[in-house]
Amino acid sequence: MSDRVEFAVMNGLGNKILVVDMRGRTDRVTPAAAIALAADPATAFDQIMAIHDPKLDGTDAYIDILNCDGSRAQACGNGTRCVVQALASETGRKSFTFQTIAGILNAVEHQDGTISVDMGKPAFAWDKIPLSEEFHDTSRIELQIGPIDAPILHSPSAMSMGNPHAVFWVDRDPMTYDLERFGPLLENHPIFPEKANITLAQVTSKTTMVTRTWERGAGLTLACGSAACAAGVSAARTGRTERKVTITVASSPNRGTLTIDWRADDKVVMTGPAEWEWSGTVYPATGHWQRDASTEAEAATQ
């Protein structure tokens, strides 16, 4: 078994995803390797999506997801789209079924190159999110930042999309809030025993929203697919929007968009783009990497 494996640097609406091919191996990308890759400006990432051989009949692969702090994540919608794009390019297939620690994900690449991922069903019960104390109604929990009589952020909707989310409703562009300062406080608030993804969401119509996210284990991110799902579902759940919305991700390049459809069968389908940037090889134990010769010329122009 070779020490090095192939990997691709990709993005889903701008956030950097490393897709690592671990098929045919029994080892895993280590937390130390993830931290080393995150510290290198060339490979700094939001999530690693490590593709392993399937563990269940009827699935195409097991996906191991790592954050840039070395912790493991349950779900990553943008990263899943990148995996689909990579495997579709390799195999010519258009539909895939993946297993993650959060469950089974089905995905399909469309004719126009966009990719839809069935992110599963949302969970709203306080102990399923989870929260550290009981709330009968998690569509509005008691949590705020700022003065008691004039909070800057307050009363978020909490839910799980396989990972915990808190969606704060704001009345202006989310980019105008100091999320870099508030994000770490809210992610690590005691009410979230497993930490949480923190999203600011501005509803602009019954079918459109604008979001920005501080991602658990990753920090400020250009885009977060599961957070977009959480925002879309929470908006519909609280009567702010319809069940299918177009979300403008304010922090992504050119303010890219995702379509979130909370279907009648309770499943949440996210549709959006994925893009390959460059490829190389990496040692999954240490994170030491090398760019493919075929992309060296491209790298020189970046």
Q: Would you please indicate which residues are annotated as catalytic (active-site) residues?
A: 76, 224
Task: Pinpoint the alpha helices (H) of 103-156.
Answer: none
| 3 state DSSP class of 154 | strand
Alpha carbon separation from 83 to 8, 174, 203, 245 (Å, rounded): 10, 29, 30, 24
* 8 Å CB contact between 201 and 210: yes
- Distance separating alpha carbons of residues 245 and 251, to the nearest angstrom: 18
Q: List all residues 6 or more positions away from 31 whose beta carbon is below 8 Å from its beta carbon.
A: 66, 70, 71
CA distance 223 to 12: 7
Contact 25, 1 (CB under 8 A): yes
The contacts of residue 16 (CB under 8 Å, 6+ apart) are: 9, 10, 44, 45, 46, 222, 277
In 10 A of CB 67, how many CB atoms?
22
98: part of which helix (H) or strand (E)? strand 95-100
Pseudo-torsion of CA 22, 25, 30, 36, nearest 10°?
-50
Closest CA to 30 of 216, 286, 217: 286
